[in-house]
Structure 1
Amino acid sequence: MSRAIAILTAGILLAGCAQKGGAAEPAQTPHGYVEGAEETAEPQLRLVLSDGETGQAHVLDPVTGRTTKLPAAKVRAIEGTGRYAFLTTAQGTLQVIDSGGWTVDHGDHVHYYRAPARDLGTIAGRPPYEVTGDAAITAVRSGDGTVTLLDRTRLDRGERAETGRLTADAVVPYGERLLVAQDGAVQVRPRTGEPGSEVGTCADPAGTAVTRRGVVLGCADGALLVTERNGTFESEKIRYPRGTTEAGRARAFLHRPGSSTLAAKAGDQGVWVLDVTAATWRLLRTGPVLAVNATGDDTPVLSLTRDGVLRAHDPRTGKQTARTKLLTAPAATAAIHVDTARAYVNDPAAKAVHEIDYNDGLRRARTLTTDLAPAHLTETGR
């Protein structure tokens, strides 16, 4: 995009945020303003990577192809939640990184911002960690079940401020409340974490996802869908097809933010596709997979098999629609991350990240080469 067009587009965005009935006063703070950040006309996506040899963390800008080294080394896992990346270190702590790219959604329009990436320190706990959050609260669950609640507004200002602690098998901020699964029950609790009212049951919870339809929690017998309307919470169990075994159940859900079609590994059988709207499961018998993701409600489900082949399946019919040989030396830590137009797959052996146009027969749009072997990957800025 040319500079003139970018300036014009940014102007239109700001004008669209002015109050109806007249121009905004020059002295007023623009709607959506974020102190210390630059507003842009396009999403500021970032890829946070860690080197498989040294564990050194980097941020890769997919627009420029440039990488920036982060003050984080010996990284063993990476998880992302929109703006932030959470890095599990060899010492067992969780390092919080502001990636420097984020989106502010006002419903009828959005704002895109960028700022320098920064280190926000570490949280003590025990791996594996699970991080969930919304615009108000970030919940960090440690492997011992301890959940630390962080004030998101203060996190955006560079402060790690705890608002509470609790113990849970799973926790998801949703609808100005917390959904907390513990001892087979799911409760709706206040943001401070005190006990609340039961909304459903979920034995052995594993995996969560926030969709347009509500929150999904993976349970031993299927998925529990929790919805909220005008402050009232309800739940529905979406049970597995008959014959599903413990080894074949879903334990982690992946999807494009905003969509209601989820993908998960199905043990050694292949891939589960959970259509939240239709309340149905579909099993894609691909055999064992290294990574999966769902790109949208009417766009492909992606899977990377152990032979290094990336596959696309129709989420409604399960039919394979495309395949491409992508990795020459597949890695157990390979991941697929998706946004509204592209998928990104890390390739440690080639020291690269592949950018895939999943709507064009899995066409390889670009290969972003790096100076590191990207063993772990997450996408931020959405």
Structure 2
Amino acid sequence: MIGLLLAGVLLAGCATQGEGRTAEEAEVPHGYVEGAEETAEPQLRLVLSDGDARAAVYDVVTGEATEVAAGGVRGIEGDGRYAFVTTAEGALRVIDSGGWTVDHGDHVHYYRAAARDLGTIAGRPPYEVTGDVAITAVRSGDGTVTLFDRARMDRGELAGTGAKLTADAVVPYGERLLVAKDDAVQVRARTGEPGNTVGRCEDPAGTAVTRRGALFGCADGALLVTEKNGAFDGVKIRYPREKAGRAREFRHRPGSATLAAKAGDAGVWVLDVTGRTWRLLRTGPVVAVNATGDDTPVLSLTADGVLHAHDPRTGKRTARTKLLTGPAAGSTSIRVDTARAYVNDPAGEAVHEIDYNDGLRRARTLKPGLTPAHMTETGR
């Protein structure tokens, strides 16, 4: 019944937005791609690899796994729909997971389609992939950035826009490109031409896009870039005086403005983008981290296979549970959505689904049919 009601709300919302469109246009849902099916609930997928010869897209709802081409795998990252797989040969393979969400602010659409391999991108690891509804930016380890047309990707074609640039980091945001280079962040056109500087950022490492703006990790903190009516502004959120390793990779639930990052051997950095403050959780070294929301737990996994939850406001630990079959591997990760967290357990050949709002209760143990050495989540 909830699903039917939700579907009704979505259709009603779209009918309002569809006023003034032709009858043919009105029949096509927002965000639709030919061959896709609109559904009433999120189509969550886990893209998994054993690190060797096997990779699969695992449907969290049905439990079905679809094998995809991968070969040797050294890492997997996702952007909500696509998985970007770093291969043993050093290329970047792009896999369409077949599950995605289109967010229109006041309502959302959920879609499902067949998983498929879009091909590979030549470059040099490590890769950084950022994007929005129009552009996907792939930065190679040598600093070269290639821009891809997202609409053509959605149709199954891995095609560049023709624009190329070099950068220390890049984030498509607000119909522009935010480009970090030479210790500064510029706002550029999508074609890559230099533009106005919005802030300083020495030794940039790590980026994120939140509902409060785009973020660049810098040597002295984070640079937050916001946009309003086409005007961009940058503000630095500086680290507190506490001694700890800097944040180099941010993790957070899509749509949230609370981020988590490793703080060297000291523990976990929690960045409240809304309040523009950092908090250091002195947990000691952690293998993986993620932030589930603004008022929900920050999760961390220690090398002994124990999952911990901390309150993001106070830093107090609220729960812990022995989760993994053996010690945590370096590729073990925590992926989160609005209700669950997923932690891959290579030694146990399983993925653990965690209800992080219920004392880290293990909701399910998923058996994807391969050793999940690498994992990302899509469909959110």
Matched, 1:290 2:262: no
Match of 1:45 in 2: 44
Within 5 Å, give how 1:316-327 maps onto structure 2: 316-327=313-324
| Contact kept in structure 2, 1:323 and 1:362, CA below 8 Å | yes
1:130/1:24 CA distance change after superposition, 3 Å: closer
| Contact kept in structure 1, 2:224 and 2:237, CA below 8 Å | yes
1:24/1:170 CA distance change after superposition, 3 Å: closer
Matched, 1:111 2:109: yes
Shift of 1:272: 0.4
Distance 1:20 1:206 in 2: 39
After superposition, the C-alpha distances for 1:57-101 in whole angstroms (9 at most, x for unaligned) are: 111111122211101121111010011000000110000111000
Within 5 Å, give how 1:89-100 maps onto structure 2: 89-100=87-98
Match of 1:142 in 2: 140
Shift of 1:50: 0.5
Q: What TM-score does the superposition give when structure 1 sets the normalisation length?
A: 0.95
| Contact kept in structure 2, 1:18 and 1:31, CA below 8 Å | no
- The correspondence for 1:315, drawn from 297, 312, 330, is 312
- The correspondence for 1:275, drawn from 232, 253, 272, is 272
Match of 1:57 in 2: 55
1:241/1:69 CA distance change after superposition, 3 Å: same
| Contact kept in structure 2, 1:129 and 1:143, CA below 8 Å | yes
| Contact kept in structure 1, 2:81 and 2:99, CA below 8 Å | yes
Match of 2:65 in 1: 67
1:34/1:370 CA distance change after superposition, 3 Å: closer
Distance 1:95 1:194 in 2: 28
- The correspondence for 1:160, drawn from 158, 161, 165, is 158
Match of 2:219 in 1: 220
Within 5 Å, give how 1:227-376 maps onto structure 2: 227-244=226-243, 248-329=245-326, 330-376=328-374
In structure 2, list runs of 5 or more residues that go unmatched: none
| Contact kept in structure 2, 1:57 and 1:71, CA below 8 Å | yes
In structure 1, list runs of 5 or more residues that go unmatched: none
Distance 1:21 1:241 in 2: 48
Q: What TM-score does the superposition give when structure 2 sets the normalisation length?
A: 0.95
After superposition, the C-alpha distances for 1:100-129 in whole angstroms (9 at most, x for unaligned) are: 001111221111110000111110000000
1:241/1:8 CA distance change after superposition, 3 Å: closer
Between the two proteins, the alignment pairs up a number of residues equal to 376
After superposition, the C-alpha distances for 1:139-180 in whole angstroms (9 at most, x for unaligned) are: 000000000000111111111221111000000000110000
Letter of the 2:55 counterpart: A
Distance 1:86 1:318 in 2: 33
After superposition, the C-alpha distances for 1:197-242 in whole angstroms (9 at most, x for unaligned) are: 1110100000001011111110011111111111111111111112
1:11/1:34 CA distance change after superposition, 3 Å: farther
Distance 2:314 2:110 in 1: 36
Shift of 1:258: 0.6
Shift of 1:22: 8.9
1:282/1:195 CA distance change after superposition, 3 Å: same
Q: Tell me, what secondary structure is at the counterpart of 1:18? A: helix
Distance 2:29 2:198 in 1: 37
Shift of 1:20: 7.4
Shift of 1:370: 2.6
Runs of 4+ in 1 over 4 A off after TM superposition: 5-9, 20-28
Kindly, what percent of the aligned residue pairs are identical?
A: 77
| Contact kept in structure 1, 2:33 and 2:154, CA below 8 Å | no
After superposition, the C-alpha distances for 1:25-53 in whole angstroms (9 at most, x for unaligned) are: 8755233243210110001110000013x
Letter of the 1:157 counterpart: R
